[in-house]
Structure 1
Amino acid sequence: MSNSYHILWIDDEWEEMTSFQKFCKLHYNMELTPFKTQKEGLDTYAKNPTFWEAVILDAKVLNESEQEVASVAGLQNAVMRIKEEFKELPYFISTGQPDLLSDQMFKTIYKVFYEKGTDDEKLCDDIIQTINEQPNRIIKNKYPEIFSWLEGTIADEVLSIIKIYENREFANADTFNKVRKVLDWIMSYLYDYGLLAIKFNGANLNECSKFLGHQKLQDIVPVHIQRHLYSLVSIANEGSHRQHIDEEVKTNKAPFLVASTIFELLNVLTWLHQLPNDTEEKQTIEKLAGNLAFDLINRNNK
């Protein structure tokens, strides 16, 4: 299952706490990615903020180097950076240090923190509850057919497209540029899978769509998916016609085109995930596609 909770875990002693990491994965579907310094962890967040959903901070954490001594100063710098640069990132402080657990000044500054071992379940419960209230996670939970398997930058792109629909930005013509990026990824995916016998090169989207729309592939690519692909490529492909479509959307002459395009894309992605994974079935599909490509080449050469 891909729709896991992706958590940054900043603790210089994480290697001694792998049982906690396994506990989070097994009971809460939380993927903890460990870092020893707050700088490395937060720099990682900065590179892909839509992927990471929360951070667990050790109360005495290394600041920028593993050669340093772990201290509350590292925590202070981490919290300060989060508040200044990453306000949307939920953070949770965890400590097993006896001196901090009884330190009144620490308790005054950091009113909410969790004791390692004793509060592990409460920590995880609070993390999940907080994440589930975040806008991105609400959308991911609303569309499990997509985000239960889609990962990485392409998942972020699809998330940004769905946000356009959820926010009812139906005059947002930039939708089609985003859809084009996802279509490029889909064609590359289908080529690697073996269904698309034409290698996608970034400029042959129409040719790829035409191949997938062939009648001989309808047992694999249903008619409604073939029609979706044709429609998506026609709308999202660059050219003079795109300028006309963009203008129609911006002037509200096609008020539902953005929404319909988004749902066509989601249908295609859902179908994509349902393609067989069995090796024998994939080989049969690849053979079918290869034979079709061979027939088409011979026909064109006559």
Structure 2
Amino acid sequence: MRKIYIIIVAVLSICIWLLLTNNPKQIPRASTSIKEKLAAVKDYKYYLDKGNNTIGKEMQKMDLVIVEPIEMQQQYIEAAQEQGALIYGYINAMEADKWNETLYNQLQEDDFYKDEYGKKMYFDEWDSYLMDMTSAHYQDLLLEEIQKQIVDKGLDGVFLDTVGNIDSFLPPEEQVKQNQAMLTFIKKIKQHYNGLSVAQNWGFQTLANYTAPYIDFIMWENFSYDVVGEDDWSLEKIAQLEHIREKFGTQVMTIGFSNETQSRALAEKHHFKFFYNPAGSYYNSWH
């Protein structure tokens, strides 16, 4: 009897295997990871204003859209995600925008970055102030903002803008502690929100020396051929980003402001994603 039982079990196992093999739809497949989806991105958009029906339909054609979640309506976000688009929500990391009154009114004096003379750094073009990432209170405010604007709205990831301010505006002796604080903050995002995908804007040295293991894509604005095509610093950064991508899978999203054809060709040469925006660093127009 035992032999007959073993034979029956074996036959049933073979039948099940053949059934599954001939019906591939029944075979469970692992979901595609965020990193794989980002690697496959071809068309992406960076847009920081409200949507409408036309924009909503255009979003559905994209592989990736970075939005201002305070502005973009939930219906367009969800419709785009249903069509397979990745939606990342904008969070200003190293600056506080005065227009975002809900967040701005919660700031304390120690949340602002101050130079050796105790003076705040104000950006007139954006009506914003440079912030101090070493402030635990400020990090907590940003985490609450990510919860409200990114997690609660079901977005695929958070896009941290102005990370590059650390390299661009702070003296070398201040950069280390701000970079360390940025790394701590990004680790908190991962811990608090179940490994939520994180991207950053600029901050190449911050990426290389601190945040690369936790960043799924970095944005390079003004990746324009007349700016980066033959510049030694830019070519060095391109090589650095290629190395980081190979090691950590961090994709590079570039935006060209001029020389569209040459800029796109340069981006594609290095397998960077490219989006052309002749308006420069203003993303309030879809086209």
- TM interval, shorter chain, is under 0.3
Larger helix proportion of the pair:
1
Return the TM-score normalized by structure 2. 0.26
- Name which one, 1 or 2, has greater alpha-carbon Rg: 1
Larger strand proportion of the pair:
2
Return the TM-score normalized by structure 1. 0.25
